[in-house]
Amino acid sequence: MARNGNQELLLYIHGTRFRFDESATWAAQFGYDVQFPGPVIVFSWPSGEGRWDYMEGETNTEWSRPHLTALLRDLSREFPDAHIHVVAHSLGARLLMHSLDEMGREDPASSRPKFGQVVLAAADVDSEIFRRLLPGARALSQRITAYVAADDRALGASAKVHGYPRTGRDLDSPEGVDVIDATRTDGSDYNHNYFTQNRRVLFDLFQLLREGTPPDHRFGLVRMENGGHVYWQLRP
């Protein structure tokens, strides 16, 4: 932080089925791909490692929440003038939203956002619960961006297990959230990791995290509407 003048900091929160070494590698690679100018911190949590460890990871988001909340609080206090950006993937996005909601409830009269860009990639969060948690996150952030994909099969399976749609497949953008449609950008078995594997998505994240550019000024996005809800689609 001293080397970059205490200006930019990125916190990366991984999703389910990540070992510590994998989460550190993914965080470092992500910071390199978007050419982030400051240090990258990874918050690693016990998300399970095997194909059938999803429920274990889901339970451990509850165990990990106070630790993430403490880290977010410490960073905002230690670097009050820095742009602290947060990128959370999959179940990590659920963990983040609950932590921001808790912080917002603790300090409802905060005079300014504590965080810069908050990015939710393929968020494994119940869509209605997401809307309920959103006010606290909005109050603490300059901008919230959600990358979604209708062909995210991992979130499709999660929706079947839980019985409710997931934010990472939902184009109905709530007020105060920029929804970016990343459908057909992955090509992997589950279409769940596109935010680190697709160049178009990474370029959009570069514009967002490096310049803070709003979606209507970012190259490569097309304005779309779905039932009166505005979202942004990545150009093919």
11: β partners: 41, 86
Residue with tokens 């999703």: 15
- Helical packing angle, 54-78 and 91-106, nearest 10°: 40
The confidence score (pLDDT) of residue 155 equals: 94
Domains of the chain: 8-234 (3.40.50.1820)
**The amino acid at 168:** G
**The amino acid at 28:** A
Q: Could you tell me which residues come within 8 angstroms of residue 152 by beta carbon, excluding any fewer than 6 positions away?
A: 122, 168, 169, 186, 190, 191, 192
Q: Could you state, in chain order, the average pLDDT of each consecutive group of 10 residues for the chain (236 residues)? A: 85 92 95 95 87 78 94 93 95 96 77 86 96 92 96 93 95 92 79 90 96 95 90 90
Sign of CA dihedral 119, 123, 126, 127: positive
Q: Could you tell me which residues come within 8 angstroms of residue 145 by beta carbon, excluding any fewer than 6 positions away?
A: 117, 118, 119, 120, 177, 178, 179, 180, 208, 215
Q: Record the pTM.
A: 0.94
